[in-house]
Structure 1
Amino acid sequence: MVPASTSDPVPAPSPRPQQEDRDRSSRRRQRSAVILSAACWVSVVAAVVVFLGSGKPAQVTDVAGAITAAGIVTGLVGTDLLLLMLVLAARIPWVDRTFGPDVTMNLHRRLGKPAVYLILGHGALLTVGYSLRDGLSLWHQTLSIYSGGDMLLALLGSCLLVLVVVTSLVAVRRALAYEAWHAIHLVSYAAILVALPHQFSAGRVLAETSPQGVYWICLHIFAFGSIAWFRVAAPLFATDAHQLRVARVETLGPDVFSIHLSGRDLSRLHVRGGQYAIWRFWSRGTWWHAHPISFSAVPTDTGIRVTVRASGAGTRRLAGLRPGTRVSFAGPYGVFTAATRTAPRLAIVAGGIGITPVRALLEDRDLGPGETTVILRATDRSHAFLWDEVRALVRAQGGTVIEMLGGRAAGAPSWMSAAAAHGQATIHSLLPDLHASDLFVCGPAAWTRLVVHDARAAGLPDGRIHVENFTG
């Protein structure tokens, strides 16, 4: 059986000036994406070019020199990738708006292994090159290089990087508590810092006044400066300016609750519906854990609401927050917003706690009659939190809401309920205007992948599919 709509179908909206705005915004994002991608490649190429222009390659006269030069190049490219990783992890607003946090951090993770392999190759090639040059065995040359001083720190940095990569493997990460994994991941900053001295002494890259030295000094300043400002200083200033406190905690369902916050000048945050922030609640048992939580309503000038589903001990403690608890934050982040739309219609599929950014997204946008179709998915009524609010928002805009309750059908994996699947429902029958729509999907990661698979199979291009994954 196919779930019924809570409102009657409305004729398709006529073209509006908003579509022209969406087209211009899409073109700007595409240009920005090209520029950012090109900047990453240019950075890597520049690392090699400034080395080639330093005159050192001309000094290569034998095999030992060639291997040593290759070791230097791998080290430079590896270091360049590490610094790019820092930039990608700095949550620079322009980068965040261009790619979104998921894409940016995915690129950050993908650069990790090549960077570490290059750094390890750097050490191995230099050891072989120096061994041939000095006529020593590899063992004795290794002892000579890493016997102490700056090179020992460089070796320590390499070991720390290997530790970070190993703990980033999916199997290892799942076995670690989030706090433990995050603490180990911060070691990557220390790994780069402890390797800096050898770039002044043995490598002398940062000690030169040549174009090569200027390039590397500027890149280090930009990478660490971005981390210092956007990850530390800017959130501290924003927290002090807005003075957020817990006003009350409202229970919505089993392990689901909304946290209402009070503050000042909150409209200056310029939050878009669908975004999230990183929250830290300063009470016993919660202060040491930062939580990425979506806004479940567009903030007013004096109030914010976020909605949480307890998925572990850390989030479960938030249900006991007392009024007056201080709150610090970083953000807002994310591109799961109407600003990414390119099509005249809007289709939304939300499952479980994925309703939270969807509810704010609907509130934030002036939608035309019949423009929006929303599918709400839950196993039963106890998990239908915020549905009343979503229904009211969509009805006020003349849109359509489809409620899909019940467990999934056995057999082939599906994001639909068993009743919908047995009724031969398809994403096209539920969303007949899919090809004229942007599709926003939010819910548990495995569930959203099934929705996205159906949308792609139906012919919807990736550029019109916008996903926000939740872990619970």
Structure 2
Amino acid sequence: MTYRGAAHEVSRPRRTHVRRRPRPTPVWWRDVVGILCWASVLVVVALWVSGRGLQTLFSGPADLLTSVGRLSGLVAADLLLVQVFLMARVPMIERSYGQDELARKHRLVGFWSFNLLLLHIVLILAGYTLRDHNNLLRETWTVVTTYGGMLLAVAATLALTLVVFTSVRAARKALRYESWHLLHLYAYIGVGLSIPHEIWTGADFTTSPVARLYWWSAYGVAVGAILLYRLALPVWRTLRYGLTVREVTHEAPGVVTVLLGGRGLHRMPVRAGQYFVFRFLDGPGWSRGNPYSLSASPSPDRLRVTAKAAGDGSSRLARLRPGTRVAVEGPYGRLTAERRVTDRVAMFACGIGITPLRALLEELEYEPGKAVLVYRAHSEADLVFRDELEQLARRRGITVHYVLGPRLRKRSSWLPENARSWSDVDAMWDLVPGIPQYDVYVCGPDRWMDAVCAAALEVGLPANQLHQERFSW
């Protein structure tokens, strides 16, 4: 089903307020962040070398195991701090990478850190066992019960183990978002409990002033980033903008729109396509935040979010009452106009993934006839914002294609069952002729997005013109 907006009806809405747009993100920020992360690992290795790490490799089997174990523990601790820093919502990092890419890097660094931690434990215990001519179980008991901070280190390891196992894809699928998020906070406990062990028994802390300076600085930066960007900044923005619920609207089966009002929103550094973490202060469960994308271009006096009931947090939206106060973190995300390359835009949305793309269609600058929306849904009843989209299409000359029907099950595809005779590539070219000349924005379920992105690249779209952001956890 296709709806074509009439180009001759284009008109631009009058604006009585000027919204402050965030400054473009410098491209070198990303390089700086990457260099700093790798530099921290190199510094740790250099400190190990300066602490006679290389010499002890040739002092016998026990010293070799202990020295390599010490190195693996130091790198594991450093990567743990890198993890914390990457997810501390530092604007420089957030805007350079985007939350979905950061989550992938955070998970990768986390698994490396955890594996090195396990290697550290095994090698250290094996080295001490050889040195003391003891058996492994007795030596382990001696280390845990007599070395300073070791009981806390054991508790830290257990906390980090819990975080790692709940980060595996199968475990994530079995958990609600709220439960997964709460369990992930144990990573902070693990970091905190590991510090006494490093201070009291770590060779670097006890023998090297330079190493002590580095590690205290690294911990200080990580803690400071958390306090500033995960706590202080959200509290300040919550108080500064005073967001409250103005209106709750049921858009489609299980889909709810919440209109939020506040003060001074024209000064908020937010773009269409971004999202916030919201906490609605309406009673029990208010402390659990949930991420929601803006479903309309932000205006000087309101924000709008739309979500589908998929968990406890999103299910609560339908029960919100006007006047409910809102705590907010963000804005986050980089699925914005900042990444555009061409003067044409093609939006591919599936289900509730229409929300950030609808906001982008409203805010982006493009000429009539140079914007296409392909909206995939199960049925007409599942189309969200249909009236708004068609009004927007008439006003701005957008071509809208509704691609309806149940999922095609015989192959991985972004098309419905009733389009099984089409290939993904042919369908894409037919709906968006000349698609390599477009910026393509994609939002929807992960597997559907994978199929769209694969077809877009196969049809010849340059990689830098493909824009996506994953909101799965």
Query: What is the TM-score normalised by the length of structure 1?
Result: 0.90
Whole-Å Cα distance in 2 between the matches of residues 420 and 8 of structure 1?
27
Segment of structure 1 superposing worse, 416-425 or 181-190: 416-425
Secondary structure in 1 matching 2:163: helix
Of 61, 64, 67, the match for 1:63: 61
1:13 corresponds to which residue?
Answer: none
2:319 corresponds to which residue?
Answer: 320
Q: Is the 8 A contact 2:351 2:377 kept in 1?
A: yes
Q: Percent identity?
A: 36
1:47 corresponds to which residue?
Answer: 44
1:253 corresponds to which residue?
Answer: 252
1:25 and 1:265, CA in 2 relative to 1: closer, same or farther beyond 3 A? closer
Q: Is the 8 A contact 2:98 2:469 kept in 1?
A: no
2:125 corresponds to which residue?
Answer: 127
2:16 corresponds to which residue?
Answer: none
| 1:105-124 paired onto structure 2 within 5 Å | 105-124=103-122
Question: How big is the shift at 1:471?
Answer: 5.9
1:161 corresponds to which residue?
Answer: 160
Q: Is the 8 A contact 2:437 2:461 kept in 1?
A: no
1:163 and 1:190, CA in 2 relative to 1: closer, same or farther beyond 3 A? same
Whole-Å Cα distance in 2 between the matches of residues 300 and 375 of structure 1?
25
Whole-Å Cα distance in 1 between the matches of residues 112 and 190 of structure 2?
16
Q: Is the 8 A contact 1:246 1:327 kept in 2?
A: yes
Secondary structure in 1 matching 2:389: helix
Deviation per CA, 1:254-294, whole angstroms, max 9, x where unpaired?
Answer: 11121111111112222100000000001124414311001
Whole-Å Cα distance in 2 between the matches of residues 439 and 36 of structure 1?
27
2:430 corresponds to which residue?
Answer: 429
Deviation per CA, 1:87-141, whole angstroms, max 9, x where unpaired?
Answer: 1111111111111100001100111121111112112211122222222222222
2:191 corresponds to which residue?
Answer: 192
Q: Is the 8 A contact 2:241 2:262 kept in 1?
A: yes
Whole-Å Cα distance in 2 between the matches of residues 313 and 471 of structure 1?
16
Whole-Å Cα distance in 2 between the matches of residues 333 and 155 of structure 1?
35
Q: Is the 8 A contact 1:85 1:111 kept in 2?
A: yes
Whole-Å Cα distance in 1 between the matches of residues 408 and 63 of structure 2?
65
| 1:35-434 paired onto structure 2 within 5 Å | 35-55=32-52, 57-58=54-55, 61-148=59-146, 149-206=148-205, 210-409=209-408, 411-422=410-421, 426-434=427-435
Of 24, 30, 33, the match for 2:30: 33
Q: Is the 8 A contact 1:286 1:317 kept in 2?
A: no
Q: Is the 8 A contact 1:280 1:329 kept in 2?
A: yes
Give the total of aligned pairs: 455
Q: Is the 8 A contact 1:271 1:298 kept in 2?
A: no
Q: Which amino acid aligns with 1:378?
A: A
Whole-Å Cα distance in 2 between the matches of residues 443 and 463 of structure 1?
19
Question: How big is the shift at 1:419?
Answer: 4.1
Q: Is the 8 A contact 1:443 1:468 kept in 2?
A: no
Q: Which amino acid aligns with 2:134?
A: L
Question: How big is the shift at 1:447?
Answer: 1.6
Deviation per CA, 1:391-441, whole angstroms, max 9, x where unpaired?
Answer: 333433333222222234453332223444446751111111211111101
Whole-Å Cα distance in 2 between the matches of residues 67 and 409 of structure 1?
55
Secondary structure in 2 matching 1:52: helix
Whole-Å Cα distance in 1 between the matches of residues 373 and 231 of structure 2?
38
Whole-Å Cα distance in 2 between the matches of residues 116 and 364 of structure 1?
43
Question: How big is the shift at 1:333?
Answer: 0.4
Secondary structure in 2 matching 1:241: helix
User: Gaps spanning 5+ residues in structure 1: where?
Assistant: 11-23
Whole-Å Cα distance in 1 between the matches of residues 375 and 112 of structure 2?
41
Q: Over aligned residue pairs, what C-alpha RMSD do you find? A: 2.3
User: Gaps spanning 5+ residues in structure 2: where?
Assistant: 9-22
Q: Which amino acid aligns with 1:36?
A: V
Question: How big is the shift at 1:204?
Answer: 4.9
1:439 and 1:85, CA in 2 relative to 1: closer, same or farther beyond 3 A? same
Q: Is the 8 A contact 2:346 2:440 kept in 1?
A: yes
Whole-Å Cα distance in 2 between the matches of residues 383 and 94 of structure 1?
38
